[in-house]
């Protein structure tokens, strides 16, 4: 193979010019002109050959429409209102390179200056940067991003002028050539009530970015897949299809799907995976005979998806495993405990504290993480060793999910009384509605941010067998009772709850050594009825009232 063939990789850039009469909307039939330019090939070839075809036709490679030594040319006398496609080749003597990328000229799609809208070259009015919290996300404003989800942090980003927020271009407002197989994300102002039509192929990820703009609730993140070399052609912020009032311009960022396969986010499970029922004894990979030896009873019988362990080194940021959630419920990922940190796409999953044991002697266990999804929502999971992962030998993960039985409905007559209050679990969070005691430490990471029910400590002597606290769980998940460790025995109503001796939450109350945890699984919509702090069966030691934690 002649080495020069490897050098002739050109990128066409097209801009279109019309006569003044056309720009003035004359009815005279005049011919269009297009100006094309491309990156010059290294190695000093003899020249370049330009080929054109009309829509629906093939190129005639025996008849170039232009030949020359410059890396630009203008083609005149094209048929008016006709779509054309162009490619360029470099030649050196009798040697001719393969085609450049193809450029499409559509006379019905042009911007106000008459420039082509699908050149694949980023306009100088946009700025490329790295997506992360703290950056200014417009070229002409000082507004900053205040909270970027970790799964998007560090991606390549393009910021726009907010003065362009009223653009109605159907396409061609922002174009660039995708540098790799991957996913393009558009962060669009959440104040919009409907999106422009050019976003019809974009899927709502369910994620948002927070900003410093006080009037803007958030930027909602939408995504679409593109192949390497494909032109990403985005329209204006308020193009046809948009509805709403005050809406700031959008933000663009993109990621590499790593591995040469375009990410699929269609909600359809790939044939490389297999569906089964989670239980002890099943083989948990499609290509190995390793078995699950101990599945906690609360997960036994759930619908499960097993993966090929040969895929354990996949670094796909997303789109490795996708399916549509059949009901409101919870998705669980059982991940090899040998990992020292998890991939970024698992940032919304929380550690349940549970593990599954396996027959693989070198694998201590699979740790179970969970995240809630709504019926019809696309579950989009990345590769086992995607960005954010660290560790050494790690087998592929296992997925299973459960029905939340009744969705997010509230059980009638099971509302939380007003004497209780709700807040978020955090170091520094108050424990009671009538005291200023607070949490000082010992909170596991997976519990942070969950809902805490604060009780009146004046009611610590309540001895009800049930119905002291009543509330409805919004999700299928564990409910935790955080109980004063000074008690030597718990009340009978806690007898079927699991005691977690591995957790000790400390508080600012100096006379209280710590708080201990009990847990029980409830289905979404189910009524949780708890008894009093001194219910029958409990010991008589002096202790403060308990608190409750739920949700994920």
Report pLDDT for 490: 93
Give pTM, 2 decimals. Answer: 0.37
Give the number of other CB atoms < 10 A from CB of residue 93. Answer: 9
Which three-class secondary structure state does DSSP give residue 345?
helix
Mark the ranges of the chain whose per-residue pLDDT is less than 50.
1-30, 109-117, 257-264, 404-412
Quote the tokens at residue 340: 């020292």
Report pLDDT for 172: 85
Report pLDDT for 406: 28
Quote the tokens at residue 382: 């990345």
Sketch the domain layout of the chain as residue ranges.
Answer: 3-105, 127-256, 274-403, 421-550
Report pLDDT for 107: 65
Report pLDDT for 106: 67
Task: Give the dihedral sign, CA 286/290/296/297.
Answer: positive
Dist. CA 318–CA 335, nearest whole Å:
16
Pick the CATH number of 3-105 from 1.10.8.80, 2.60.40.10, 3.40.50.620, 3.30.450.40: 2.60.40.10
- Residue 226 pairs in a beta bridge with 182
Q: How many helices (H) and strands (E) does the chain have?
A: 1, 35
Dist. CA 406–CA 327, nearest whole Å:
9
């Amino acid at each position: 193979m002649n080495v020069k063939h490897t050098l002739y990789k050109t990128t066409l850039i097209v801009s279109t010019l019309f006569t003044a009469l056309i720009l003035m909307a004359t009815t005279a039939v005049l011919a269009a002109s297009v100006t094309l330019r491309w990156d010059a090939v290294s190695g000093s070839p003899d020249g370049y050959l330009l080929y054109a075809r009309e829509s629906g036709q093939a190129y005639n490679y025996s008849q170039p429409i232009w030949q020359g030594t410059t890396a630009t040319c203008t083609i005149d006398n094209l048929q008016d209102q006709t779509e054309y496609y162009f490619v360029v080749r470099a030649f050196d003597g009798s040697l001719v390179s393969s085609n450049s990328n193809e450029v499409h000229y559509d006379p019905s799609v042009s911007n106000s200056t008459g420039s082509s809208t699908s050149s694949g070259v980023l306009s100088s009015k946009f700025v490329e940067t790295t997506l992360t919290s703290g950056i200014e996300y417009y070229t002409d404003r000082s507004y900053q991003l205040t909270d970027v989800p970790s799964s998007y942090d560090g991606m390549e980003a393009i910021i726009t002028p907010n003065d362009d927020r009223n653009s109605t271009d159907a396409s061609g407002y922002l174009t660039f050539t995708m540098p790799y197989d991957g996913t393009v994300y558009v962060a669009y102002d959440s104040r919009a009530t409907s999106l422009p039509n050019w976003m019809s192929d974009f899927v709502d990820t369910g994620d948002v970015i927070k900003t410093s703009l006080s009037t803007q609730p958030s930027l909602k993140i939408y995504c679409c897949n593109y192949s390497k070399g494909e032109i990403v052609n985005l329209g204006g912020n308020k193009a046809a299809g948009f509805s709403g009032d005050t809406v700031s311009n959008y933000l663009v960022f993109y990621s590499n799907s790593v591995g040469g396969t375009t990410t699929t986010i269609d909600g359809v499970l790939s044939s490389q995976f297999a569906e089964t029922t989670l239980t002890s004894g099943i083989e948990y990979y499609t290509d190995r005979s390793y078995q699950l030896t101990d599945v906690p009873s609360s997960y036994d019988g759930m619908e499960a998806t097993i993966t090929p362990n040969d895929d354990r080194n996949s670094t796909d940021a997303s789109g490795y495993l996708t399916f549509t959630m059949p009901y409101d419920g919870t998705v669980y990922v059982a991940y090899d405990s040998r990992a020292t940190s998890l991939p970024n796409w698992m940032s919304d999953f929380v550690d349940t504290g549970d593990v599954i044991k396996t027959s693989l002697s070198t694998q201590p266990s699979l740790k179970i993480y969970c995240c809630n999804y709504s019926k019809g929502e696309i579950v989009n999971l990345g590769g086992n060793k995607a960005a954010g992962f660290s560790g050494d030998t790690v087998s592929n993960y296992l997925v299973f999910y459960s029905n939340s039985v009744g969705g997010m409905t509230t059980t009638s007559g099971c509302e939380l009384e007003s004497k209780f209050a709700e807040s978020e679990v955090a170091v520094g969070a108050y424990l009671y509605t009538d005291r200023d005691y607070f949490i000082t430490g010992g909170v596991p990471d997976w519990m942070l941010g969950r809902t805490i029910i604060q009780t009146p400590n004046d009611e610590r002597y309540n001895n009800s067998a049930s119905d002291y606290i009543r509330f409805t769980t919004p999700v299928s998940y564990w409910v935790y009772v955080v109980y004063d460790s000074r008690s030597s025995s718990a009340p009978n109503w806690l007898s079927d709850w699991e005691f977690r001796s591995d957790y000790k939450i400390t508080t600012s109350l100096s006379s209280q050594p710590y708080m201990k945890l009990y847990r029980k699984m409830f289905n979404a919509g189910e009524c949780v009825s708890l008894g009093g702090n001194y219910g029958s069966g409990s010991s008589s030691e002096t202790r403060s009232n308990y608190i409750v934690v739920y949700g994920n």
